[in-house]
């Protein structure tokens, strides 16, 4: 009986140590700071748009989950609750909605993004999260000065 208790106690200690390590190194790891990250690519909005529309699979393999710096002409700024998105309209479509590159800003850049003038040349850095056949989406974006 003592032998079984020792084995169970040993397994419990090993399990507790394993759980603590998972918590420390996996669950509790810091988030990537996209604002300070070096972009993997710097390009014009037209360039990434053309690549996604030419070969989506190749573009996804190159750009998805990558930090990218985009330069383009601002079409509009969308405000929704506490979210501000900088929008580059790439193809206007009145029937089904515009095809865009949508860049959701970090909250601390909302006021600065909301103050941007339509038609201004803007440089934005963010994390590419994919293309859904109408929009290329970026998260965690900041303005590059």
Instruction: For the chain, give every domain's residue range.
Output: 1-30, 41-143
Query: Which residues lie closer than 8 Å to 140 by C-beta, 6 or more apart?
Result: 34, 35, 104, 106, 126, 127
| pLDDT given for residue 29 in this prediction | 65
| pLDDT given for residue 95 in this prediction | 72
For residue 56, the SS3 value is helix
* Residue 141 contacts residue 106 (beta carbons within 8 Å): yes
145 residues of the chain, pLDDT tens digit each:
788 888 988 999 999 999 888 888 777 766 677 888 899 999 999 999 999 999 999 999 999 999 999 999 999 999 988 889 999 998 887 777 788 999 999 998 888 998 999 999 999 999 999 998 889 999 999 999 8
CA distance 106 to 34: 10
CATH superfamily ID and name for 41-143 = Nucleic acid-binding proteins (2.40.50.140)
């Amino acid at each position: 009986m003592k032998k079984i208790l020792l084995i169970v106690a040993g397994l419990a200690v090993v399990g507790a140590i394993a759980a603590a390590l998972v918590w420390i190194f996996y669950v509790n790891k810091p988030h990537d700071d996209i604002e300070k990250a070096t972009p993997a690519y710097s390009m014009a909005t037209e360039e990434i748009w053309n690549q996604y529309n030419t070969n989506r699979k190749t573009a996804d393999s190159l750009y998805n989950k990558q930090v990218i710096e985009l330069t383009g002409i601002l079409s509009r700024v969308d405000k929704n609750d506490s979210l501000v998105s900088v929008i580059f309209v790439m193809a206007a479509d009145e029937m089904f909605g515009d095809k865009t590159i949508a860049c959701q800003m970090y909250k601390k850049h909302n006021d600065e993004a909301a103050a941007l003038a339509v038609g201004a040349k803007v440089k934005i850095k963010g994390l590419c999260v994919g293309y859904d056949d109408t929009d290329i989406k970026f998260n965690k974006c900041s303005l590059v000065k």
